[in-house]
Amino acid sequence: MLRFVLILYSVLYTLSLLLYLPFYYYKAAKEGRRLHLAERAGWRVRWPASDQDASTTIWIHAVSVGEVNAIKPLVENLSGAYRLVISTTTETGQRLARQLYESRASLLYFPLDWRSTCRRCISRVQPSLVLLAETEIWPNFLAETRRARIPVVLINGRISERSFRRYRRIRFLLKPVLGWFHTLCMQSEPDRKRILALGAPEARTIRIGNLKYDYELRPDPEKARLVERLGATLRRSPEALVWVCGSTREGEEELLADAFLALRSEFPALRWLLAPRHPHRAPEVVQLLSARGLRPLLRSQVDTAGPDVDTVVLDTVGELAYLFQLADIVFIGGSLVTWGGHNIIEAAEFGRPILFGPHMKNFQEIADTFLAAYAAIQVANTDQLVSRARDLLRDPAARKWLGNNARKVVRQNQGACRKTMEVVRVVIEERRKLTTDD
């Protein structure tokens, strides 16, 4: 039965890939990206210059930017003791991974989920342990790790309500596949209950918290200079205020531009730092804002900024986390539109007052935790966003109170990294004993 399920999955996966490949290729070409098919077929693995003498290889897969940032504390704890391989699915995730980890890990794209490509990639990497971040369940990859007797651990696991409804339709496929995980480390109790309902083995499914709370921004002289330059651009007068909108999505920038214009009618010295989730969209966003009468500038052109610039649009990767410290108020993107929101914690780390829209499904537990602690404000629409932002801009004490609450939430929920490291050590020790016995 399981063999039939894997064959059926492989056929459907191949048909889907063939059907959508022209669309992906066209979209990537339009955006100036590559699909990296040769690497995703397992034909190219680049090793770093360091850590070549490590006896144990750990492969960590982090899909995109959010996951790449989330694994940062884990990478810092693992590097040196183990040889690390980090894979991503998206190009933006790969670029950020190279910025953060290139000196400490081999970086590659996750293989296409065919048995042959997964086998080839696993054979080249030769991991002793695979860590899959969040909700990465690839049946053929898991089948090949099982065949090679390589343990796989799901780290920082989460199953949103929307994903749960979708996965429930294919529970007959997921149940045996979930049984191939050595351990499933889930972020929250609702996540644990959902994956158990999909067929995960209860004895190997645990709640350890969210790695994102263990996020720590390391000092970086180059980023410090960037913060100083952008601060000088955005705060040209003593009364200047800065609104930072992070990880915004298509269709959302128009709404935020309307909100900014409404706020600026009362606060003429208000300046705006806008960071689209995908930096390749930055020129398009600049055109959109210019059409509304704003004076935007790309971050890559900030050294040429004149005195009339009122908006800076981020067109780079890996800098937003540092730039939240410039904010008087923060808005978390992807939440006014139905995308599902983005991570709150990077802004909270600096103790900044945070607002987000009604759509936070992708970070629901984090959003609920912040709301319960009076550490963030949720708005239903653009009008409410303008109203709440206006209240905060008028009241420095309220901004400070809300920001301090946000920082406390982060501190009170840390510890997932330590628990994940305990799981990793146990699994590595089990594998060493198994190898010795063989």
**What DSSP assignment string belongs to 368-422?**
HHHHHTT--EE-SSHHHHHHHHHHHHH-HHHHHHHHHHHHHHHHHT--HHHHHHH
* Dist. CA 428–CA 433, nearest whole Å: 9
Starting at the edge strand that comes first in sequence, how are the strands of the sheet with 57-61 ordered? 105-109, 83-88, 57-61, 129-133, 152-157, 183-186, 205-207
Question: Tell me, what CATH number does 185's domain have?
Answer: 3.40.50.11720
Taking CA atoms, 108 is separated from 35, 74, 83, 280, in Å, by: 12, 18, 14, 21
User: pLDDT value at position 45?
Assistant: 57
Of residues 88, 124, 122, 83, the one with CA closest to residue 105: 83
**pTM score above 0.85:** no
Same domain, 261 and 397: yes
| Structural domain of 182 | 27-209+415-437
9 within some domain: no
Same domain, 403 and 423: no
Q: How far is CA 328 from CA 85, 245, 265, 325, 390, in A?
A: 38, 11, 17, 8, 12
pLDDT of residue 47: 53
Tokens describing residue 341: 């929101």
> Are 328 and 378 found together in one domain?
yes
Indicate if 196 and 300 belong to the same structural domain: no
Rg of the chain taking only CA atoms, in angstroms? 23
Q: Please indicate, yes or no, if residue 14 is contained in any of the structural domains.
A: no
Q: Are residues 161 and 265 in the same domain?
A: no
Digit-by-digit pLDDT tens for the chain (438 residues) are 678 778 888 998 899 888 888 887 777 777 777 778 878 887 765 554 444 445 799 999 999 888 998 999 999 999 988 999 999 998 889 999 999 998 889 999 999 999 999 999 999 899 999 999 998 899 999 999 999 999 999 999 999 888 899 999 988 888 999 999 999 999 999 999 999 999 999 999 999 999 999 988 888 999 999 999 999 989 988 899 999 999 999 999 999 999 999 999 999 999 999 999 999 999 999 999 999 999 999 998 887 766 778 999 999 888 999 999 999 999 999 999 999 999 999 999 999 999 999 999 888 889 999 999 999 999 999 999 999 999 999 999 999 999 999 999 999 999 999 999 999 999 999 988 877 766
Q: Specify whether the CB–CB gap between 139 and 174 falls below 8 A.
A: no
| 310 and 379 co-located in one domain | yes
What per-residue confidence (pLDDT) applies to 48? 46
Domain count for the chain, please give it: 2
- Domain assignment present for residue 18? The answer is no
Cα separation values, 199 from 101, 144, 167, 177, 304, Å: 35, 20, 11, 9, 57
- Tokens 């693992």 belong to residue: 78
432 and 392 in one domain? no
My answer on whether 292 and 195 are in the same domain is no
In the numeric block, the tokens 């730092």 are attached to 273
Residue 154 sits in the same domain as residue 246: no
